[in-house]
Amino acid sequence: MSGKLIIVTAPSGAGKTTIVRHLLAVEPLLAFSVSATTRPKRDYEKDGVDYHFLSADQFRKQIEENAFVEWEEVYPGKFYGTLRSEVERMWAAGKHIIFDVDVKGALSLKSKFPEKTLSLFISPPSVEILAQRLIDRGTETPSTLQTRLERVRYELTFSPKFDHVIVNDVLETAKTEAQRLVHNFLNMA
């Protein structure tokens, strides 16, 4: 028997990872889907915990082998995807799966499992506030910041395609709203 899917997406820096961590802490039947990526590992990240870090060649080989439920080339040469083996492993363990994925990956997952999915779009209060959050995070160069902000504007146009949009203006309020929506969805017959 397979469980339900909770898909959380947002532009980079909008707070989706923080909200996903909160949901994992308060909902014991949720398990985190570890995505695969070709982007460089950050100092604080662990392979197999935060992401499955693959080379571009390894990722392309997995695509050819149909190993992904969904995948996307988010930036040129930067791939992200959900391994089929991750989904099957968690469902076999009786868990519902929570995904922290990009907008296109989220829509792809939602289209493959429409009856089993709750999709949440975490929106920043504004592009300007998000830009400051990204600057404060200290992981961006001026060039990568510009690329990310262009992508943010593009991704925000997809928000109406999701079941719920949560504006992350006050983090505690956004976490509470996400928790309420997920709890209600998981407890529906």
Q: How far is CA 83 from CA 32, 63, 179, in A?
A: 12, 10, 26
The proportion of the chain whose per-residue pLDDT surpasses 70, expressed as a percent, equals 99
| CATH code for the domain of 50 | 3.40.50.300
Write out the residue range of the structural domain in which residue 152 sits: 5-186
Q: What is the pTM of this model?
A: 0.85
Instruction: Compute the distance between CA of residue 139 and CA of residue 41 in angstroms, rounded to an integer.
Output: 12
Distance from C-alpha of 159 to C-alpha of 155, rounded to nearest angstrom = 7
Contact 47, 34 (CB under 8 A): no
- Non-local CB neighbours of 124 within 8 Å, separated by 6+ positions: 10, 11, 13, 14, 15, 130, 133, 152, 167, 168
Q: Distance between CA 130 and CA 88 in Å, rounded?
A: 35
- What's the number of domains the chain is made of? 1
Report pLDDT digits (tens) over 47-102: 998 899 999 999 999 999 999 999 988 778 899 999 999 999 999 999 999 998 88
